[in-house]
Every structure is written in structure tokens, then in C-alpha cells.
Amino acid sequence: MSYPIHRPRRLRTNPKIRELIQETVLLPEKFILPLFVEEALKIEEPIQAMPGQFRWPVSEIIRPIEEAKSFGINSFLLFGSPETKDRTGSSSRDPKGLIPRAIEKIKGAFPDSFLITDVCLCGYTDHGHCGIPDSQGYIQNDETLPFLCQMALSHAKAGADMIAPSDMMDGRVGVIRSALDIDGFTRIPIMSYAAKFSSCFYGPFREAAHSAPSFGDRTSYQMSPSNRREALFEMTLDMDEGADILMVKPAMPYLDVIYEARIRFDCPIAAYQVSGEYSMIKAASANGWVDERGAVLESLLAIRRAGADLIMTYFAVNAAKWLKDNP
């Protein structure tokens, strides 16, 4: 009986050698924790569609920050849900508004925290769209851009460390970059939601952020799930307009896009493990169908293996705990 010369199992013999040759490594410092800040609240409020996640009032927002930092997570993505909403999302541009106050609160307690702010109108408008509709309900592109610039500037002036436009309006990275530079914020990077697909996996988020559209859908500005080449074209445009980091959203259903982006672009690539991805794992584990720890860490490894340098994930704290207990 002949035996193979190459025996890959030699390198799987024990945990020490498996750890030594591990190609993809998860590190808590590569995770970004999304947080929901809601103006009307006095205490934290559980998000029904996202077990284990909460909406936070500004007065309590340092609590999840403190916990996350204790496990090595120092980067946070802030979403706001104001008390007052209108057609143009005017509260999004208020220099004393919800997110600027949250930034001030967090930086006062943890000045070394890295705060990324979502720049989009959907959570601030009474219609729930990411831009300004015309009389027929079509979301206007160029008319929306000045509002996004003002929103980005209000965050930068409050102390945001990075701006993350998620609206998918054409040209928004370029005008935001120009506005930041003109106002003296040349050091603030932009992480663009460059390939943001029109996905059913956003459902729980829209409950969390109270941002579901009141009419129509977002297919006229978010991308078709069928189009990979178009996604790479969108990413190229955002790079040309001055984006520093390119994001793919969602993550798991679009690993091929993450992989292609990693090959094509030399900048950091981010991926967003979105609310639907989170809630599916939570539901399956609650029913005993999957092991939550195993499913979470395997999914995050897959996203990293595909090429993502940074991962936005609601599992950030749990994953960091598990990695600390049993790397």
C-alpha cells in the first residue's frame, strides 16, 4: 500500500500547530461596534428584532462604550434617531443635535475612542428615505448633497474621527470631501458605503433606527444584488472622489464583492455584517439549530478571509469576549 508524500493532516495534529499556521486571524481591534442613539429615551430600550441590542439615550451612551473598550474594542459607528423629523431631515444638520451631543458625551468620558458617524438622512426624515423626494416621490440626487455636507460638517465640528456616508447618492463622497477640506477638516477620513446593496437583510435595522421608508423602496439608489461589476464601478468612483476606506454592505451574501474589492483596490476594505445577519444567527441559536459562538466566529472569519480589513458587527463585544476566553 502506497502512502501520500504530502499529508496536510500533519499540520492539524494539535492546537499549537493549528494556531501557528492559521492564515486568518480575528482581532477585537478590527471590529467596529454600531450603536443606536435615540433622543426621546431616558433609559436604554431593547430592540425587539435584534436580541441583545439596545437603543441608547445620550445620557447612557457611555455604558456600551465602556463595556466594549474593556474587551479591546475602541471603534464605534453611531446612528441617530431624533425626536423631530421632517421632509429634509433638518435635525441631522443641527450642531447641537443628537449625534454631536453623543460625540461630546463619549469624548468627555473616553477621549481616545474612535467615533465614526453615519451620514444619511433616512433616520431624520419623516418619509424614511435617504434623500429628498420630489413631488412624484423620486429621490433627488443633487438636491440632497448639500444636506449631507452640512450633516458631515456638524459631526466633524463636534469631534467625529471619521465620516461614513451611507446614502448612495451619486457624487456625495466628492462634495463631502470638499466641504470637509474647505472647513479645515483635512485630516478626517471618509469611509464610504461604496457598494451598498438593496437588501432584505436590513429589516431589523430599520426597526432599530425607525428608518423604514413610508412609501416605495430604495432600489432607485441602493444597488441591485445581481450586479457585481457595477459594485466595483461604484467603488472606483468613490475612490476617485477621495474615499479613504471602501465598504461592502451586507457582508456574508457579498463575500465575492469583498474579495474582488480586496484584489482591485489598495485602500482598506470594510464590511458590514448587518442586522439581518445578526438576527438570523441569534434566532437560529435561540432555537438550538446552531451554536452561536461557532456561527459568529466562523462568519466573521469568512468575512476577514474574503479580504475585509475592518468589520462592522453587532457581535463585536461577544466575539471579543470569546476570543479573549479561548482565542
Q: Looking at beta carbons, which pairs linking 130-137 to residues 24 or more positions away fall under 8 Å?
A: 130/166, 130/167, 130/168, 130/169, 130/218, 130/221, 131/167, 131/169, 131/221, 132/87, 132/88, 133/87, 137/215, 137/216
Model pLDDT, residue 195: 97
The residue extents of the domains of the chain are 23-217+225-325
Q: CB under 8 Å to 3, separation ≥6 — which residues?
A: none
Which of 31, 11, 18 is closest to 301 using CA atoms?
31
Burial of 102 (0-12, 13-18, 19+ CB in 10 A): buried
Model pLDDT, residue 79: 97
Q: Collect the ranges in the chain with pLDDT lower than 50.
A: none
C-alpha span between 139 and 18 (Å, rounded): 52
- Fold observed for domain 23-217+225-325: TIM Barrel (3.20.20)
Q: CB under 8 Å to 156, separation ≥6 — which residues?
A: 163, 180, 183, 185, 188
Give the phi and the psi of residue 30 in degrees, each rounded to 5.
Answer: -90, -5
Q: What is the pTM of this model?
A: 0.94
With beta carbons less than 8 A apart as the criterion, state whether 238 and 246 touch.
Answer: yes
How is 259-313 classified by DSSP, letter by letter?
A: HHHHHH--S-EEEEE-HHHHHHHHHHHHTTSS-HHHHHHHHHHHHHHHT-SEEEE
Taking each helix axis as running N to C, give the angle between helix 292-306 and helix 275-286, from 0 to 180 degrees, rounded to the nearest 10. Answer: 150
With beta carbons less than 8 A apart as the criterion, state whether 170 and 178 touch.
Answer: no
- Angstrom CA distances, 253 to 64, 250, 274, 281, 290, stand at 28, 7, 10, 14, 18
Distance from CA of residue 67 to its chain's centroid? 19
Catalytic residues: 196, 249
Reduced to 3 states (helix: H, G, I; strand: E, B; else coil), residue 98 is: helix
Q: Name the amino acid, one letter, at 4.
A: P
With beta carbons less than 8 A apart as the criterion, state whether 160 and 115 touch.
Answer: yes
Model pLDDT, residue 327: 56
Q: Dig out the grid coordinates for 103 from the structure.
A: 460625540
Model pLDDT, residue 1: 59
Torsion, Cα of 59, 64, 66, 71 (10° steps) = 180
With beta carbons less than 8 A apart as the criterion, state whether 120 and 167 touch.
Answer: yes
Model pLDDT, residue 210: 83
C-alpha span between 320 and 66 (Å, rounded): 14
